[in-house]
Amino acid sequence: MAQPQIKRIGIFKCGNIGTSPLLELLLDELADRKDIKVRTVTTGSKMGPDDVEDALPKIFELNPDLLIVISPNTSLPGPRKVRERMSSSGLPGIVISDAPGKRAKEEIENQGLGYMIITGDPLIGARKQFLDPIEMAIFNSNISKVLAIAGVYRIVHQEIDQVIYAIENGQKPDLPRLILDLKVVRDRSEFNNPYAKAKAMAAYGLAEKIADINVQACFMEKESEKYLPLVTCAHEIAQIAAKLAEEAREIEKSNDTVMRMPHSKSGKMKIKTKLMFPPVSDETLYDKNV
Amino acid sequence: MAQPQIKRIGIFKCGNIGTSPLLELLLDELADRKDIKVRTVTTGSKMGPDDVEDALPKIFELNPDLLIVISPNTSLPGPRKVRERMSSSGLPGIVISDAPGKRAKEEIENQGLGYMIITGDPLIGARKQFLDPIEMAIFNSNISKVLAIAGVYRIVHQEIDQVIYAIENGQKPDLPRLILDLKVVRDRSEFNNPYAKAKAMAAYGLAEKIADINVQACFMEKESEKYLPLVTCAHEIAQIAAKLAEEAREIEKSNDTVMRMPHSKSGKMKIKTKLMFPPVSDETLYDKNV
Amino acid sequence: MAQPQIKRIGIFKCGNIGTSPLLELLLDELADRKDIKVRTVTTGSKMGPDDVEDALPKIFELNPDLLIVISPNTSLPGPRKVRERMSSSGLPGIVISDAPGKRAKEEIENQGLGYMIITGDPLIGARKQFLDPIEMAIFNSNISKVLAIAGVYRIVHQEIDQVIYAIENGQKPDLPRLILDLKVVRDRSEFNNPYAKAKAMAAYGLAEKIADINVQACFMEKESEKYLPLVTCAHEIAQIAAKLAEEAREIEKSNDTVMRMPHSKSGKMKIKTKLMFPPVSDETLYDKNV
Amino acid sequence: MAQPQIKRIGIFKCGNIGTSPLLELLLDELADRKDIKVRTVTTGSKMGPDDVEDALPKIFELNPDLLIVISPNTSLPGPRKVRERMSSSGLPGIVISDAPGKRAKEEIENQGLGYMIITGDPLIGARKQFLDPIEMAIFNSNISKVLAIAGVYRIVHQEIDQVIYAIENGQKPDLPRLILDLKVVRDRSEFNNPYAKAKAMAAYGLAEKIADINVQACFMEKESEKYLPLVTCAHEIAQIAAKLAEEAREIEKSNDTVMRMPHSKSGKMKIKTKLMFPPVSDETLYDKNV
Amino acid sequence: MAQPQIKRIGIFKCGNIGTSPLLELLLDELADRKDIKVRTVTTGSKMGPDDVEDALPKIFELNPDLLIVISPNTSLPGPRKVRERMSSSGLPGIVISDAPGKRAKEEIENQGLGYMIITGDPLIGARKQFLDPIEMAIFNSNISKVLAIAGVYRIVHQEIDQVIYAIENGQKPDLPRLILDLKVVRDRSEFNNPYAKAKAMAAYGLAEKIADINVQACFMEKESEKYLPLVTCAHEIAQIAAKLAEEAREIEKSNDTVMRMPHSKSGKMKIKTKLMFPPVSDETLYDKNV
Amino acid sequence: MAQPQIKRIGIFKCGNIGTSPLLELLLDELADRKDIKVRTVTTGSKMGPDDVEDALPKIFELNPDLLIVISPNTSLPGPRKVRERMSSSGLPGIVISDAPGKRAKEEIENQGLGYMIITGDPLIGARKQFLDPIEMAIFNSNISKVLAIAGVYRIVHQEIDQVIYAIENGQKPDLPRLILDLKVVRDRSEFNNPYAKAKAMAAYGLAEKIADINVQACFMEKESEKYLPLVTCAHEIAQIAAKLAEEAREIEKSNDTVMRMPHSKSGKMKIKTKLMFPPVSDETLYDKNV
């Protein structure tokens, strides 16, 4: 097999969900993959159609071989516009969004795009009386820990890695079509200890509950005495969910069974569990595409 | 005073430090500021000169009124190239980097740029036997919580906000020139309870220690039996530092003295402490520039 | 006002929810009320119509002035039979049940009975591969702590106390008609610190989530590899919810603001907050009925 | 062996100890045993002779094959009256009580009854300035967790199960005669890990200490400045004891060695340890009686 | 008042209790008192009469103005010998010992010595299968934290300070005669928050329980299967007691009400509570002697 | 081999570091070694040359076969004087000190003495506005736990044990020459689980950081608003470091792999890991000297 050409991964972020901030880093955690380059363009926390118009062209100009868009609720006008452009570009494209994005599922499929809808990537407590930059950052930290440990980030990068691998091998990629709910988290769990797995699932379940409460607090309640306790309550759940996720990983650590899957320089994942042993190649991970 | 024109903030990220992933979100946490638009271009985890060459033009094409670059060790070739371009562009520019960036302090000053060197934004445990995407994400989550709660993110966005405010008012901005070490964290702390403040400082001190240990582990030790315990130890410190930071905030919560500074739609910060009370404008925050 | 005659409170429990085990104790925590006697008859964990036929007459034979039935899902045949008998007895009657009981709301109203539907009193993980007597007891312990601290037990005994008070004063009682969901918990909270309140609400929200997951696990999933992680996950949530509730109370303790409402010997509630101060009578608590 | 007739278990509760609220549920945790029906009659928190006179007949009218009475200090007049009636009824009978009940040991033996005296089921902090319904419920939650995890509830239901099993098989049951102190808890422990066992024992030892302190606080100290710190201290011990018990179980969970003994539909206990494996019958558990 | 001459405090330690290792440091925590010099002679962990014979003369040769002996069970032959020599020396002398030392109370009084018997300074789990140097050190660390936070060390140094103060002022000192049990800890507590006080008391109560269990384990049980779980259990209690004590102090910290009483250079105690305020002299502390 | 004569170990402590208070107890934790007697003389917290002059002769008068001096910074005048006397006495001698003692390394070697410099035995927060006897004791408790669990105390007693063993066998002892830094702690770790080891190392790393901060706070900052937050911060690190160390040991406990090395009566160390198994002799521990 000839050395595949370096592939370029373009990521467009408009608005923010818990999976957004670290997304590109998941693909090349050690910055030493030789097979890909990642470029990201974002519109910050805003996601209006005008923001998209303004910034989206730049990601195309960076000549991606694969396009990924990540945003809250992909059925809103801004993210929808991104999908339309992606779809018409003919490039392989993947949409990552949160629970309300479920509504756009069929539309996305019709657009020929892949998707990962993360039901436990919850709306933040977006109320000015509550949310300042620090509260926002803490919430993201907590959600990020939950998604990392519960296995969501793993699924996200594995699915993208599979697509990249197919592209590198000149194949038509199977784009992911996944609603990442509690059952998927259960079925794709990497935990060795069943209670650790249950704790990680619980953390993810809590993240789903945050979404329910924050939707109530941000869109239905009108008075601050009503919504402030709700958003505060939701962020408390985020904090305890992060703690619960951490407990899950601590169990695996206490048994020296933490599964690690670093990317090799060639881009293929390696795998290891015992900390003091080296990672090994696991070709079975690539059976699907090869 | 006439309505200021919308200003465009350009952020260029190459490589990643703990302050990077959430940086643009700190400026507009509720996505409702009317005075600015934020655009970001990144090269993912890589930060080589070729990556910079490839992607940097895009951020200029997005017509920023203020440019911010954030990267590990700004004295490395890639980030240095960014600084050169920023400096020659004549735009107001700010460099954000971690402890090794201190070496470039004078160079940056000579380039007419501002800087914030965050001594407690530590090198990750960058060893392939240890670091996979999940470990990377957890580490970022922990560091992010420390930097948020210890007050570093506050200082970062306040300093940028001041610069934006000056630009909006047609003034020449005072660019920040800050080594954000434990003493600055102490002196600009927002904590009300002195033990909460001490805990937050402790968390930041721990983050500095992580840096020391990871430098040893990543650059000096050659054998995995030597460096693996060190990087694992460093990440354990990150975890406990996040916990300690959280304890600090919990104390403020128990006293209902958490200081919140949400951005108003006009871009000015408001301020509040008691949770159930509304935020108020605090003109004193802007004395320096007006 | 003449000394009211001692009133007899009859409680019939069929099957078990988290509010059941301690229900009668909530009414007379120190066993020194002079105004009431409480008698309970239960059918243990079973709640079939035959169990009800067998045991229900005993509670009537004990001559209650007020009847309370508590059971899971009051729309099931056994509990429904209890309600019919209560309704036809003409005695004031109150139905306490969990979320699925909501379906019977109108029926209960037509029966002239009061009700308290506790949405956060969740189904246990009722799978033989998982639930043994110890796991059952631990789950009840956790749920009990959540319901006590979040304020549900307070609302339950206050509502019953109001009814007793009316009966004692020869008035027709206003029977409670309450869906005890997160909003009611929010609005009737006794917490002084708003973050403590938010944590207690969060604990209650988690209890609601347990219910969702256990319904899935107990009634929809057929294979043990599918349902075992779910019930285990649900019980992990119960554990962390209890911990979160405890954190809430710890905050109030740290501020010496725990509200206590012991029953006086006369049956009226007293009230106190500072631990070292005596409780006082609070006539405002009885305004509604007097 | 022919299908045994369904046996009826009558439980009479007067007053409350930590083992009382969940007692009947321990015998049929999934509500699916075909071999027994459980009926309970209680006098709430009160336990005076008049309460007993009033309510006790009902439990006899429910035709039990086995009678169990549970109360604080069984040597007090109310519980003593229950024992007399039980003894003269000729039915097999078991007395469950707390540490002060030890005094009645010989009397109980002479009455031909079995007993389980639980030295770590402590007196509550029964002072009106301290104990309200919520504090009472929290205390019960904590003690319940300790007794469940330390193995006391296991011993209680196993002993009763053995008696039921003998009755079902037409044998004269060996009634339990047990002082359930720290040594018995040690010797009948189900823990696999010795430190988990030690933690669970420690939790039980703490419960014994609570009893010592609350006896002092409730019966000897007269001034609130003296007894309030003591009852509060005792309830703090209850809280930390519950936590310690939880830690013990967490260790077993981390090793996937939690022993579970669900009742089968036939009433026999099954046994399992690894969570994802099914429970098996263990005939050795019944050697004693068969 | 003339400058008092420097007084010499002699401490003789034979064997070890939890109060021993830091005793001399409690008197001069900053090493800057001008009024005293402290000299200690110890026989290590051994406390036989021959050890005493060998080492005791040295402490007399160091010319103390006040003699303190600290040991386990002061009624044992070694410590008894020390007391005899102290008594016959005519120097003011104080005996510090643990609960079994209570037996010697009258003897000590007849010897004209003062005493402090610390009921919550428990026997270590002295079994070779369990206790190695590390386990010993951890136990001492835990007990030391309990005794420090619960207020025992405060009482100890205050009582000694009072005696020193009297000696410095040429007065006959009132030697302490104290059984430091849970009630004394309650009555001399410095805690501001009543729940913090209760937690600290609870920690001390736990330490008393450790003593009970270790006496059982070390002197009564003969088989390792019997005593090993007991000593391990006792050390688990020590660990959780230290944690509980820490929780108590954390509450005071969260309220900025930690009482601090540093020694001034003159030897008098100063007092402060708010962390950022300076300590002040409190003459009331010396009323008793002046 | 003939029964070796009892050897006498003399310890001189001037001033205090975290290793001081328990040092002699580490050598004979059960007080039953037949081969040695330990005698200690101390000057309390003070360590001036006059204190040394006054007290040092006593330790020589106790006829030691091995002399150990432990103090802060051994290069200060008091401790230096001790070393001079030790050196000229011709007795085998060992110096134990903290990080600043590193400066005296060559001097000590020239004096023919052994040394152990413990880089993670940090300066206390020695500021009168902060440090009272209780704060001092808590700090020592925390540091002691870190040093015990991280393995420092083990190394200390093993090194001394080796020297004693050589002396007993008429050999010239190899005196230890060790800088006990994070790498030594890593390389001599007894932990079985690699994450437990990493946590223990992290705790030790934190202790090193405390030293850095307290040196800054005690010697460089002049104003209380500057140094008080620093010393408080340093003591917060001590507390969390103790907690982290405890977590490390908890992992080993959960795996029943805690290594214990009790001294036998003959003085030789035995070794065991599984709690319920007896310790065994391990001759390999003495290979070096025999």
Q: Note the pLDDT of residue D289.
A: 45
Question: Binning pLDDT at 50, 70 and 90, where does residue F176 land?
Answer: very high
Smallest Cα distance from E210 to chain D, Å: 9
Q: Residue F40: beta bridge partners?
A: E42, F11
Q: What percent of chain C has pLDDT over 90?
A: 95
The per-residue DSSP string of F237-269 comes to HHHHHHHHHHHHHHHHHHTT---B-PBPTTSPB
Best mutation target, A134, A259, A265, to test chain B (most B CBs within 10 A): A134
Question: Are chains C and F touching, using the cut-off of 8 Å on CB pairs and a minimum of 3 such pairs?
Answer: no
Per the CB < 8 Å rule, is C45 touching D30? yes
Residue-by-residue DSSP string for C116-179: EEETTSPPP---TTT--HHHHHHHHHHHHHHHHHHTHHHHHHHHHHHHHHHHHTTPPP---EEE
Between positions 176 and 215 of E, the ones with CB within 8 A of D are: 182-183, 186, 189, 194-195, 197-199, 201-202, 205-206, 208-209, 213
Interface test with E, best of B191, B201, B251, B258 (most E CBs within 10 A): B251
Candidates E31, E46, E278; nearest CB to F28: E46
On chain A, the residues whose CB falls within 8 A of the CB of C240 are 202, 206, 240, 243-244
Predicted local confidence at residue F69, as pLDDT: 98
The pLDDT value recorded for residue E280 is: 94
Instruction: Return residues 14-43 of E near D (CB < 8 Å).
Output: none
Does B198 score more than 70 pLDDT? yes
| Tokens 């969702």 found at | C212
Buried b (16+ CB within 10 A) or exposed e, E173-211: bebbebebbbbbbbeebbbbbbbbbbbbbbbbbbbbbbb
The answer to whether B262 faces chain A, any CB pair under 8 Å, is yes
Chains E and D touch (3+ CB pairs under 8 A): yes
Asked if the Cβ–Cβ distance from E201 to D229 is below 8 Å, we say yes
pLDDT score at A159: 98
Are chains A and E in touch, 3+ Cβ pairs below 8 Å?
A: no
DSSP 8-state code for residue F51: H
Q: Which residues of A touch D276 (CB under 8 A)?
A: 194
- Write out chain B residues lying below 8 Å of F186, CB-based: 226, 229-230, 233
If we measure between CA atoms, which residue out of C110, C25, C93 comes closest to residue C59?
A: C93
Which residue in the set B182, B197, B240 is minimally distant from F202, CB to CB?
B240
Helix/strand/coil for E105: helix
In terms of residues, how long is chain F?
290
Q: How far apart are the first and last CA of chain D?
A: 12
* Contact assignment for F254 to D193 by CB distance below 8 Å: yes
Closest-CA residue to C186 (of A236, B251, B252) = A236
What residues 131-170 of chain B have any CB closer than 8 A to a CB of chain F? none
CA distance D230 to D221: 9
Residue whose C-alpha is closest to residue D185's, from D175, D196, D174, D173: D196
User: CA-CA distance, B280 to F146, in Å (whole number)?
Assistant: 46
Q: What pLDDT shows up at residue C3?
A: 55
Tell me how close the Cα of E237 comes to any Cα of chain B, in angstroms: 24
3-state helix, strand, coil in chain A (%, to 5): 50, 15, 35
Each of the 290 residues of chain D gets a pLDDT tens digit; together they read 455 589 999 999 999 999 999 999 999 999 999 999 999 999 999 999 999 999 999 999 999 999 999 999 999 999 999 999 999 999 999 999 999 999 999 999 999 999 999 999 999 999 999 999 999 999 999 999 999 999 999 999 999 999 999 999 999 999 999 999 999 999 999 999 999 999 999 999 999 999 999 999 999 999 999 999 999 999 999 999 999 999 999 999 999 999 999 999 999 999 999 999 999 987 666 655 43
Q: Which of F201, F205, F229 sits opposite B197 (nearest CB)?
A: F229
Chain A interface, mutation test: which of F187, F247, F251, F255, most A Cβ atoms within 10 Å?
Answer: F251
Average pLDDT over residues A246-270: 97
- Choose among B183, B206, B234: nearest Cβ to F209: B206
**What is the three-class DSSP state of E248?**
helix
Residue F78 has pLDDT above 60, yes or no: yes
**Inter-chain contact C195–B256, Cβ cutoff 8 Å?**
yes
CB contact under 8 A, A186 and C229: yes
Report if pTM > 0.95.
yes
The partner residue sitting opposite F202, judged by closest CB among B183, B208, B236, is: B236
User: C260 at the E interface (CB within 8 A)?
Assistant: no
For C230-255, write each residue's pLDDT tens digit: 999 999 999 999 999 999 999 999 99
Categorize the per-residue pLDDT at E140 as very low, low, confident or very high, splitting at 50, 70 and 90: very high
Runs of H (alpha helix) within chain F: 23-26, 49-61, 77-89, 105-110, 133-150, 152-168, 182-187, 194-215, 224-254
> What share of chain C has pLDDT > 70, as a percent?
96
Which two tokens mark D109? Answer: 């033996």
pLDDT at E1: 46
CB pairs under 8 A between C and E: 16
Interface with E, mutate which of C253, C257, C258, C260 (most E CBs under 10 A) = C253
A290 and chain F in contact, CB less than 8 A: no
Contacts of F206 in chain B (CB under 8 A): 206, 209, 237, 240
Q: In the Cβ-directed half-sphere of C177, how many Cα atoms lie within 13 Å?
A: 12
Contact B238, B139 (CB under 8 A): yes
Q: In a mutagenesis test of the B interface, which of A129, A132, A281 is the best target, namely the one with the most B β-carbons within 10 Å?
A: A132
- Condensed to tens digits (0 to 9), the pLDDT of residues F236-256 reads 999 999 999 999 999 999 999
* pLDDT grade for A1, boundaries at 50, 70 and 90: very low
Contact at CB, D42 and C26, closer than 8 angstroms: no
Report the residue of chain B nearest A148, measured CA to CA: B134
Q: Which residues of C touch B254 (CB under 8 A)?
A: 193, 195-196, 251, 254-255
Tell me the nearest-neighbour CA distance from D176 into chain E, angstroms: 23
* Length of chain E as a residue count: 290
F55 touches chain B (CB under 8 A): no
Distance of CA A197 to the CA centre of its chain: 19
Contact E105, E178 (CB under 8 A): no
SS3 A39: strand
Mutate which: D127, D185, D236, vs E, most E CBs within 10 A: D236
**B256 contacts chain C (CB < 8 A):** yes
Task: Encode pLDDT of D99-130 as tens digits.
Answer: 999 999 999 999 999 999 999 999 999 999 99
Report angle CA E253, F208, B193 to the nearest 5 degrees: 20
How far is the C-alpha of C191 from the C-alpha of F136, rounded, in Å?
A: 36
Asked if A276's CB is within 8 angstroms of F195's CB, the reply is no
Flag if B275 and C195 touch (Cβ within 8 Å). Answer: yes
Tokens representing D81?
A: 């009256």
The ipTM is: 0.96
Instruction: Please give the span between the terminal C-alpha atoms of chain F, in angstroms, as a whole number.
Output: 12
End-to-end CA distance of chain C: 12
| Residues of F whose CB is below 8 A from D251 | 253-254
